[in-house]
Amino acid sequence: GLALGLWRRQAALEAAREDEEEKELRQRFMAPPVSGLRELRRRRRELRSRMELLIMETQAEVCRALADLDPGASFAVDSWERKEGGGGISCVLQDGEVFEKAGVNVSVVSGFLSEEAARQMRSRGKSLKAKDGKLPFCAMGVSSVIHPKNPHVPTMHFNYRYFEIEEADGTKQWWFGGGTDLTPTYLNEEDAVHFHKTLKEACDKHDLKLYPKYKKWCDDYFYIKHRGERRGIGGIFFDDVDSPSKEEVFQFVKSCAKAVVPCYIPIVKKHCHDSFTPEEKLWQQLRRGRYVEFNLVYDRGTKFGLLTPGSRIESILMSLPLTARWEYMHNPPESSKEAEILEVLRNPKDWVH
């Protein structure tokens, strides 16, 4: 009887602790997670669950930091489901005092890869063996694009994601991808150094070779071929990373995700009240046009989203600015502030040495 009483008390304490934990998690996130808190807790040692918790935490952290800077505006929080499996949470702020548009999305989707998406992956060197023409997959990530109103505050983008595919013989292929990059309208060297240094510190905790490698990858990836210039002043970017081990890559991705707020928020605080001219605003709109060109023509994530059946187009195109402009044959005067940023976009710089 005594043992049973102890067991009951233990079980009651356990249940109370779980409820408390659930309440705390609920308050920490912007919305309930796609997989459900109970399910995440039940599988909390599995990497998939830990990654989902990380992307939920990152979303909440970034949204709160942005909302603190733009108290008049608020995030519309939109949870959605995908009939093929999974869903997501889109948090979008529009027309604030500081941010013209800021979106932070989480998606956790599963199902079968479309033929088109599988082809895109095979073209990157993945050998995928389908069973009856089907490839079960699971993909999750957090992605964000922040377009401020003031031309002296840069646009920022980050994305961290995990992918798993089960092949015909049951073996699982997995990899991580992601990055954080900055797109200023005008060059501020001090900001560029702060941004890159913060990302370098996150990488250096894991391996000193990572920052130079992923910085170069970022400069190469965000290249608008038809313009001969980069989308911005870079940062870090990586994809298909599956070594040294799942745990080590996860810890690295976690460090990068935790660096998002410190690498960007101080820059916003510093410039969000700077005065600007109509000419500077016009230049910002023209640079935004380039941003749109890259995202629609070259971006792998946008392409994958548009090719995945049942994907949510509104969330995929959230990265596009509220306003942008294309002017015929626009060339800034030589030795102007506008020409200065173009020079860096054509010839990437080393910001940390």
Question: What residues act catalytically?
Answer: 157
Token couple for 71: 């108290």
Q: How many CB atoms within 10 Å of residue 277?
A: 9
Distance separating alpha carbons of residues 193 and 204, to the nearest angstrom: 16
Beta pairing, strands 136-148 & 86-94: unpaired
Cα separation, 137 vs 117, whole angstroms: 11
The closest alpha carbon to 347, from 247, 251, 265, 228, belongs to 228
Q: Is the torsion defined by CA of 347, 102, 196, 142 positive or negative? A: negative
- Beta bridge partners, 183, equal 155
Residues in the chain: 353
Task: Rounding to the nearest 10 degrees, give the CA dihedral for residues 320, 321, 323, 327.
Answer: -70
At residue 301, φ and ψ (nearest 5 deg) are: -65, -40
* Burial (Cβ within 10 Å: 0-12, 13-18, ≥19) of residue 325: middle
String of DSSP letters for 300-351? HHHHHHHHSTT--HHHHGGGS-S-----TT--PPTTSHHHHHHHHHHS----
Q: Which of 127, 134, 126, 190 is nearest to 351 (CA)?
A: 190
The DSSP 8-state label assigned to residue 90 in this structure reads E
